[in-house]
Amino acid sequence: MKLKKIISVILLVSFFSPAHSALNIFTCEPEWSALASQLGGEKVTVFSATTGLQDPHHIQARPSLIAHIRNADLIICTGADLEIGWLPLLLRRSSNSKIQPGQLGNFVATEYVRLLGKPKLIDRSQGDVHAAGNPHIQTNPKNILLVAKALHKRLLQIDSQNSDHYNRLFNFFEQRWKKALKHWKKMTKPLRHLEVVVHHDSWVYLRDYLKLKQVATLEQKPGIPPTSGHLNQLLNTIRTNPVKVIFHAAYQPDKASIWLSNRTQIPAIVLPFTVGGTEQANDLFNLYEDTFNRLLKAIQL
Ligand SMILES: [Zn+2]
């Protein structure tokens, strides 16, 4: 065969190969991209609207995001109003009927997890209140498995011809995750009931997992930057309620944490919060490994 002919055969084969029929998945946050990659493998192409260094509550509905969501077969978002400031606009502008709310192509992670932190009284004057319950479910590794089970089922529904492939990847992931949960349970023993101060109330699920005692938040009202008055009050709170560590998510400013740390000698650390939040948290497994490592290191100081 002549070289030209060989090349054209290769091109033809690759054009019709299943790689080109991969599902286009658009996720709102990087933890769901990481999960979709684990469960979809080479049958999916994954795009995340945000990185671990961006605040998922507030991003711009940029034209490049609209272009991505327009071609999506499936979107995976946290829900519980986390993306209320930008996702509805993207969905409207997408002209994509497959991914609208209620469709198979619209997967909402918080629907598969018991939500914590539902306010009894919804008062918007109290800041950026999450009325549906706290959406930051990825801070508890047990939630990942619940979402993984539901997402696996959804992939089977959307792309049934590749069910063997998805079943294989899910079984592999489930096995690894269960093993990791056992390992983290042991690893986090010294962190149980730890007294902490956090920046934003983003850690209710981590708190539940480790039975942390959250003494205070640096934000007096959620979503509203810490005020100096509130921080000064915190100095008094900490005097009577000892705190072992102050932490914030990688995307949050560290100024308030450092201010408080300097005055109290309590270590202030950054936690990845999601995949990509730190260099070490480069996949879902390492997200928790790094989170717990950083906390363990902080309490040894
Ligand atoms: Zn929040």
What is 36-50 written as a DSSP string? HHHHHGGGEEEEESS
Which of 123-138 are b and which e, b meaning 16 or more Cβ less than 10 Å from the residue's Cβ?
Answer: eeeeebbbebbbbbbb
pLDDT of 125: 66
Residue 195 has pLDDT above 90, yes or no: yes
Considering the chain, what is the average pLDDT of its residues? 91
Average pLDDT over residues 251-259: 93
Residue 145 has pLDDT above 50, yes or no: yes
Average pLDDT over residues 66-88: 96
Residue 214 has pLDDT above 90, yes or no: yes
pLDDT of 17: 46
Distance 81 CA to ligand 1 centre (A): 9
pLDDT in tens, 165-184: 999 999 999 999 999 999 99
Q: How confident is the model at residue 133 (pLDDT cuts 50, 70, 90)?
A: very high
pLDDT of 178: 98
Distance 222 CA to ligand 1 centre (A): 7
Q: What are phi and psi of 61, to 5 degrees?
A: -80, 70
Distance 204 CA to ligand 1 centre (A): 10
Distance 7 CA to ligand 1 centre (A): 52
What's the pTM? 0.89
Distance 159 CA to ligand 1 centre (A): 33
295 CB-near residues (< 8 Å, 6+ apart):
188, 191, 194, 245, 247, 269, 271
Residue 220 has pLDDT above 90, yes or no: no
pLDDT of 132: 86
User: Percentage of the chain with pLDDT > 90?
Assistant: 82
pLDDT of 14: 45
Residue 147 has pLDDT above 80, yes or no: yes
Distance in angstroms (rounded) separating the CA atoms of residues 43 and 35: 13
SS3 243: coil
Residue 161 has pLDDT above 50, yes or no: yes
Choose between 283 and 241: higher pLDDT.
283
Q: How many residues does the chain have?
A: 301
| Closest-CA residue to 83 (of 106, 104, 64) | 106
Q: How confident is the model at residue 131 (pLDDT cuts 50, 70, 90)?
A: confident
Distance 57 CA to ligand 1 centre (A): 7
Q: How confident is the model at residue 19 (pLDDT cuts 50, 70, 90)?
A: very low
pLDDT of 3: 53
pLDDT of 8: 54
Task: Work out the end-to-end distance of the chain between its first and last CA atoms, rounded to an integer number of angstroms.
Answer: 69
Residue 239 has pLDDT above 50, yes or no: yes
Residue 248 has pLDDT above 50, yes or no: yes
Average pLDDT over residues 96-106: 98
> Which residue(s) pair with 48 in the sheet?
27
Distance 133 CA to ligand 1 centre (A): 10
pLDDT of 118: 85
pLDDT of 16: 47
Distance 210 CA to ligand 1 centre (A): 19
Q: How confident is the model at residue 221 (pLDDT cuts 50, 70, 90)?
A: confident
